Amino acid sequence: MSFVIYLIAAAATFFVYKIFFHNKNKNYFAHKGIKYEKPRGLLAIIDMFTKKKSLPDVVMGWYNDFKSEKISGIFEFSRPVFMVRDPKLIKQMAVKDFDYFMDHRVVLTEEIDELFGKSLISLQGQKWKDMRSTLSPAFTGHKMRLMFDFVASVGKQTVETLKCQIDEGREKDFEFKELATKFTVDNIASCAFGIHVNSFADPKNDFHRIASELTSSESLTVMLKFTGLLLFPWLMKAFKISFFSENIMKFFKEAILDTMKTREEKGIVRHDMINLLMQAKKGNLTHENEEKTVEGFATVEESQMGKMQNKRKWDDTDLAAQALVFFIAGFETVATTMAFMGYELAINPEIQKKLYEEILETEKELNGKPLTYEKIQTMKFMDQVVSEVLRKWPPSPVTDRICVKDYVLDYEGRKITIEKDRSFMIPIWAFHRDPNYYRNPEKFDPERFNDENRKNIQEYTYMPFGVGPRNCIGSRFALMEVKTIFYYLLLNFRIAKTDKTKIPLQFKSMSVGLKVKEGIWVALEPK
């Protein structure tokens, strides 16, 4: 669709909003006796397009506006949204009363984007429950053990390719988010699709090309699409404007379904995500009784809801949708975490040295045997470092919940009704940087998560993978990726600052995720 059409859609949104919606809800929180940030109306849209604030800035602003309030109000354009900044209220609403708040707000529905709309992140109600319980057995510790060799293989491939590039004098300084994205794309291609690619040697491969397109969130076109979908999805549907291009959807659908068909016909078994989805389709993917493994502090536990059995039949498109979101979430959020970990190790060489010593000790204990999933779980300081990276730099700065039926909140002796279809937000970024919960929160300090100190972390103030039954289903996989790649990187390289390394980092505005101005640059020095 041409740029002119986007401008027409934006203009229509502007005038419809101005005429019909600007004053509709302005007294919503006042009537409930809740302190709130006054609606900024069209100024909020202007801010979005004039690049005034980054997402972390916005989240911190919400959190700090009414510091003495456990719950307050903000406006998403003209839409009232509750802001929860009390850990006990988060537990009450997102966990204990989950049946009232089980859904995320959905921007990309099945009608707008069939594949993304059918993914776990977009599904709602009973269909979400059924899909969550269907997929839950795919992300247990046992399944991670089966996939670990694929991850380790990509990690070793990454290191060998980087060595060659450095030895040949082609590169020494690396933008770490770009480096991390290449690793995570190769890893997801292997673990999800059973396809071998090397984005370092061939950055124009289809998976890396599409990953770049998916994360290009700063263009005017993307922001217009996002605003239109957020405010007026019916208008976007009428113009047949999807957030993702038709080529991307076609690529994933064909890659997934063709692979499943080939494996079915030839009896190929490979312990990856495609295989798990094929089992799910047949109803053979179930939870197994397995010994409890000591896993990372940040690992989220599956709720009983996720472990329930269901008899829903899924079609090929339903399953292809899960592989798509696994690809998107698996490379972008993990690459973001890796980038910040590389940065922190570069500017904190004493922490890097201690982690390297633990890696050497682990290598000694392996005595020439390959690294295993179980062994990497025994690395306590590695887990402390990763946990602290996720505290200081949570890849999802905010999460939300939608009220699915009227809810009465007993709040400080008052009863507040949250009506159906209203939502509340949890400012994860701000909780992680609140000095009331983390002393000197801007300091990178892995000792917060040692055996003694981790017991003092207040419940529901650490939420890098979300909270409640709707938390991130892939936390084990994400942690496995991060720990494995840094094991091999630090075994072979020292990560150092360069002239391009910016301290402190600054975030770009007008960006959906965590985008750093001028990138995160480090040097890799072979050992």
Residues in the annotated binding site for heme = 472
CA pair distance 477, 481, nearest whole angstrom: 6
Distances (CA, A) of 483 to 77, 79, 496: 40, 41, 19
Q: Label residues 496-521 b or e (16+ Cβ within 10 Å = b).
A: beeeebeeebebbbbbebbbbeebbb
In the block, residue with structure tokens 């059995």: 309
Could you give the angle at which helices 475-492 and 176-193 cross, rounded to 10 degrees? 120
Q: Over the Cα atoms of the chain, what is R_g? A: 23
Query: What is the DSSP code (8-state) at residue 420?
Result: T
Tell me the two tokens of residue 407.
């809810």
Burial class (CB in 10 A: 0-12, 13-18, 19+), 270: middle
Question: From the CB of residue 246, how many other CB atoms can be counted at a distance below 10 Å?
Answer: 9
Burial class (CB in 10 A: 0-12, 13-18, 19+), 303: middle
Could you give the angle at which helices 220-231 and 42-49 cross, rounded to 10 degrees? 160
Question: From the CB of residue 99, how many other CB atoms can be counted at a distance below 10 Å?
Answer: 11
Beta bridge partners of 83: 72, 425
Whether 257 and 251 have beta carbons less than 8 Å apart is answered as no
Note if the bond before 504 is cis, omega within 30 degrees: yes
Could you give the angle at which helices 176-193 and 141-167 cross, rounded to 10 degrees? 130
Tell me the two tokens of residue 97.
């009363």
Q: Alpha helix (H) ranges present in 98-175?
A: 114-117, 125-135, 141-167
Tell me the two tokens of residue 27.
């007294």
Tell me the two tokens of residue 474.
């892939």
Closest residue by Cα to residue 421 from 44, 89, 104, 43:
104
* CA angle 243–249–251, rounded 5-degree value: 145
Distances (CA, A) of 282 to 61, 275, 312: 48, 11, 11
Burial class (CB in 10 A: 0-12, 13-18, 19+), 20: exposed
Whether 334 and 513 have beta carbons less than 8 Å apart is answered as no
Distances (CA, A) of 325 to 136, 252, 463: 15, 10, 20
